[in-house]
């Protein structure tokens, strides 16, 4: 459940910006049918920054309910205040989720010791498996491999979503941790290379709209069939890149609506809909991927 193609699921909303239960069910059914390994609910792609604390918890629990045991659900539980991250994590104890994805604290840019103490404190307040999430482009802070190695000694810290885009990080981390520590790519465009170097899968934005292809690519990579995996990846590459033509999840929400997976592409301010200039670019990528 912590390997293969794990979708960083969008949070579907209606025209008024309320969470749309019917679209969420449709998305979950799509991922079950497509072979997605697991769902990350209310991560960055799920607009965690603009959901209230209560909404955050409600969306995760709705996802668990609608998944109904058919696909594992991982909750995004990160915050830049350790106390808030602990509170959010503790809410999901005995909830039915299989683990938590916890992002590096953003904006306040802690030291490596601060990062260690932050994640350690969260892990000590739950028995749920914890996946670290390193994305310096969004947080302004980089969780370095020696700190990852220290955190890997904490029993329920089981892996990392590494989204620096720096492929050398795979071996830098692998050389410092036990063989069962899980390495997940956070970058769709380099995920296959990441797996070829020994990574275990990807937490994917692209999987929102190309779930079956991402699942198959990861299956082939796990089996060592990289030539076949690269054929899929080559077709998806424009999509990997152009889903980030504007800040995530703007483009992937628009693409999801174009494919009929959700009813609207509504986002909450300060995120705004995909611009008219970007729409043909994303549309061409969907066509290149064979999705339209």
Is residue 90 in some structural domain? yes
Q: Provide the token pair at 223.
A: 């089996």
In a domain, 178, yes or no: yes
On the question of pLDDT at 34 being above 80, the answer is: yes
Catalytic residues: 133, 161
The pLDDT score that the predictor gives to residue 159 is 98
Range of the domain at 25: 4-226
For residue 163, pLDDT beyond 80: yes
Tell me the CATH number at 92.
Answer: 3.20.20.70
97-111 tens-digit pLDDT: 999 999 999 999 999
At residue 151, does pLDDT exceed 80? yes
Q: What is the pLDDT of residue 75?
A: 98
| Domain assignment of residue 243, yes or no | no
Q: What distances in angstroms separate CA 37 from CA 83, 140, 219, 273, one per listed residue? A: 30, 30, 10, 29
Is the pLDDT at 60 greater than 80? The verdict is yes
pLDDT score at 25: 98
pLDDT band, residue 194 (cuts 50/70/90): very high
256 located within any domain: no
Number of separate domains in the chain: 1
pLDDT at 1 over 90: no
Whether 240 shows a pLDDT value over 80: the answer reads yes
Name the burial class of residue 180, with classes exposed (0-12), middle (13-18) and buried (19+) by CB atoms within 10 angstroms of its CB: exposed
Residue 286 lies in a domain: no
* Assigned token pair, 285: 């990528």
In this prediction, residues 82-92 reach a mean pLDDT of 96
The answer to whether 45 is a known ligand-binding residue is yes
Question: Domain for residue 264, yes or no?
Answer: no
Rounded to an integer, the average pLDDT of 233-245 is: 98
Are 98 and 126 spatial neighbours (Cβ–Cβ below 8 Å)? no
Residues in a beta bridge with 160:
132, 183
- In a domain, residue 195? The reply is yes
pTM exceeding the 0.85 threshold for the entire prediction: yes
Tell me, yes or no, whether 250 lies in a domain: no
């Amino acid at each position: 459940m912590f390997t293969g193609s794990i979708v960083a699921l969008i949070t579907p909303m209606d025209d008024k910006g309320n969470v749309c239960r019917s679209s969420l069910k449709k998305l979950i059914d799509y991922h079950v049918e497509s072979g997605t390994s697991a769902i990350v609910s209310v991560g960055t792609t799920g607009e965690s920054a603009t959901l209230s604390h209560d909404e955050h918890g409600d969306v995760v629990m709705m996802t668990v309910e609608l998944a109904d045991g058919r696909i594992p659900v991982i909750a995004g539980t990160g915050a830049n205040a350790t106390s808030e991250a602990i509170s959010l994590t503790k809410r999901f104890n005995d909830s039915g989720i299989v683990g938590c994805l916890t992002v590096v604290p953003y904006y306040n840019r802690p030291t490596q010791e601060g990062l260690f103490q932050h994640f350690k404190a969260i892990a000590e307040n739950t028995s749920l498996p914890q996946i670290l999430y390193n994305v310096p482009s969004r947080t302004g802070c980089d969780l370095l491999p020696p700190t990852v190695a220290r955190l890997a000694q904490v029993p329920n810290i089981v892996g990392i979503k590494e989204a620096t885009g720096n492929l050398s990080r795979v071996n830098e981390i692998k050389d410092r941790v036990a063989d069962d520590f899980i390495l997940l790519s956070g970058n769709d465009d380099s995920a296959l290379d990441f797996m070829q170097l020994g990574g275990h899968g990807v937490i994917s934005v692209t999987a929102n709209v190309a779930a079956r292809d991402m699942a198959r690519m990861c299956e082939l990579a796990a089996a060592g069939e990289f030539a076949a995996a690269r054929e899929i990846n080559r077709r998806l590459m424009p999509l990997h890149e152009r889903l980030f033509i504007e800040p995530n999840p703007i483009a992937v929400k628009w693409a999801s609506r174009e494919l009929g997976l959700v009813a609207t592409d509504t986002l909450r301010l300060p995120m705004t809909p995909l611009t008219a200039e970007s729409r043909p670019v994303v549309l061409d990528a969907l066509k290149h991927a064979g999705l339209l």
